[in-house]
Amino acid sequence: MILTPIPREHLAAALDRFAEQLDDPAARVAFARLRVTAAERAHGPAAETHRREALALARRCGMAIHPAGVRSAFNWDGTALDGATEAYVILHEAAHFVLAPPERRRLVDFGLGPGPDTAERAAAERATILPIVERDADEAAASLLGILWEAALGQPALASFLDQNWLEGIERSAAPHFTAVLRRLRRLGVVETALPVSGECQPSTREMR
């Protein structure tokens, strides 16, 4: 949910203000790549194409996918991904998988507590192992990595950028926060040095805890 909705007629100016505050060259390139994508979600056949592309990336990351028709109470139940959801959700969960150390990959919702789509919220709460500050950091990293994957795949990354509140605090903290999270992804090895991200899964050689 967008915390502070930006009227569509003001969006271009807001994106310009955000871009002007990016001092880091990699951050400027990453933002430019996602900015040219659609600000609206795909529908119909295009949305299904995006979902299949996202599932293919998740598989390359090493994630198992529940068979079609099998629904889970969690997007990630510790063993397999619920693939019957939107592409941006799948990419977000794949990002969590890449960033999580092995012990958290075995937990529902990666030990981060219930997500928006979690049906068995009490079970997800019991599986939570990270303190709130670390959960927030993990969520930010997974959010941005998933968005960069969307951009690399030609999917509506700008829609996710807006939905996931990356413009919140645009006059103060938004651009520094974006830059700091991108730098963390680069340190972890999941974002390339020369190119912000590719359409491939790049598991980290380090562990985010």
Q: In the prediction, which pLDDT does 203 show?
A: 45
Q: In the prediction, which pLDDT does 114 show?
A: 86
Give the Cα separation of 67 and 125 in Å (integer).
26
Residues 90, 32, 93: CA angle, nearest 5 degrees: 15
Q: In the prediction, which pLDDT does 2 show?
A: 72
Claim: this prediction has a pTM higher than 0.85: yes
pLDDT tens, per residue, the chain with 209 residues: 677 788 999 999 999 999 999 999 999 999 999 999 999 999 999 999 999 999 999 999 999 999 988 788 889 999 999 999 999 999 999 999 999 999 999 999 999 988 888 778 898 888 889 999 999 999 999 999 999 999 999 999 999 999 999 999 999 999 999 999 999 999 999 987 544 455 566 544 333 33
Q: In the prediction, which pLDDT does 127 show?
A: 84
> From residue 169, how far is each of 83, 120, 176, 197 by CA, in Å?
33, 33, 10, 25
Give the Cα separation of 92 and 105 in Å (integer).
14
CB 17 within 8 A of CB 11: no
Q: In the prediction, which pLDDT does 135 show?
A: 94
Give the Cα separation of 52 and 192 in Å (integer).
24
Q: In the prediction, which pLDDT does 103 show?
A: 94
Element (H, E) at 63: none
Hey, is 80 helix, strand or coil? coil
